[in-house]
Structures are given as C-alpha cells and as structure tokens.
Amino acid sequence: MKRCVIFCAGELDAPVTVPDGALVIAADGGLQHTKKLGVQPDVILGDFDSLGYTPQGAEVFPVEKDDSDSMLAVRRGLAEGCEEFIFYGALAGKRLDHTVANFQTLQFLADRGAVGYLLGKDTAVTVVKNGKLVFPGTATGTLSVFCMGSDASGVTLQGFKYELNDGVLTAGHPLGLSNAFVGKTAEIEVKDGSLLVLWDRINGFPIR
C-alpha cells in the first residue's frame, strides 16, 4: 500500500513519523512544519495565503477555489497511486471549520476506496465505510463513533463498555459518544454507510 503524508497549516502538536517510501506533501503553511522537522517534501502546493509567500518550485493555486489545500494534496496523492493518507497539522488550529473540512476529506478518501488518518497530539481520527476496524485488547481510553452523512446501518460495536448489535446511527443523535475500551479485542463494523471514529492516539492504527 503506497502511503502519503500530508503536512497541513494547523498547529503541529503531534509526534511525527514518516514511513519509508511515503509521498510527502506540504500543503501551504504545512511547509513550515516540514522545515522545522528537517523533512524534505516531495511536493509543495497550495494558494499560500497561510504561508505568506510562494516557495520556489511550488505548485500554486488561486485563493478562490473549490478545494482546500488539504484536498488539493489528497487529489495529488490519489493521482500518484497512494492508498493510505496520514495528515499532520489537520486537527489543532484556530479554525474549527478547517477541522470539519478535514473530516469531510476523510470521507472523500473513503468514497474512493482509500484510507485516511488525522493525527493530533492525543487523538487519531478516521472514517470507515462499509467495513470494519479492529483494536487489540491492549487498547485503552475512550473512543467515539459518529454517523457521517445519511444513516449508517448494520453498526456493531463489540468489546467496548457500551456494545451495539446491528444497530443504526444517525447524523442527528450522537449515540456513539464516549465509549471505552475494556481490555478486550474491540471491533467496529458498519454494513451500509460511513462512521467517523475518534480514539486515543496512543493506541495506534486499527486493523482494517
């Protein structure tokens, strides 16, 4: 699976790992993060309203456009054949609307058969569509599950403090808020629809 690591312009408060062979993209102000970390991006792109200047060799886009800089980076990663995307600087920031936009970007990836993770200091976020996530029995802390878009049906939560069997989650009721790991293998499955899943980052990535 080819990976893409995207550095966004939000605050970078998370430990950073760049997998070997990953395509690294600096999206606008995300270039500041790569410079501080000593990471050389393969691609630099954006409208550069956050960075404040246009870097040499960058792919420049107009400020007035339909895609966020993060989405531009995603489109580039998909065009390069990437299937797994890791975002840094995409959760913590002054603009809550950008965080919500990044949640939708995860859905955009899921709709195209790709996988995305937003990584913050303490929190990891992904979207699972018509599929399953499995966490090991060593996972600790809390986990929340929210419906993305239309109703999510065939939702099963096993191995958590609060379990659900073949249920329905809707966008109008946060039923999946604040669940907890209990020392068992924990599974989340959705048969029809998409779920936004947030958990303590210390637990790593789930198995899909």
Q: Does residue 83 share a domain with residue 20?
A: yes
pLDDT band at 99 (very low <50, low <70, confident <90, very high): very high
pLDDT in tens, 163-197: 999 999 999 999 999 999 999 999 999 999 999 99
Q: Does residue 108 share a domain with residue 20?
A: yes
In percent, the amount of the chain with pLDDT more than 70 equals 100
pLDDT in tens, 107-125: 999 999 999 999 999 999 9
Would 208 be classed as within a structural domain? no
Q: How many residues does the chain have?
A: 208
- Residues 204 and 84: their CA atoms lie apart, in Å, by 15
Looking at residue 94, its pLDDT comes to 79
Q: Is the pLDDT of residue 154 over 90?
A: yes
Q: Which amino acid is residue 37, in one-letter code? A: L
- Residues 166 and 11: their CA atoms lie apart, in Å, by 38
pLDDT band at 15 (very low <50, low <70, confident <90, very high): confident
Among 94, 121, 148, identify where a domain stops: 121
Backbone angles phi, psi at 69, to 5 degrees: -60, -35
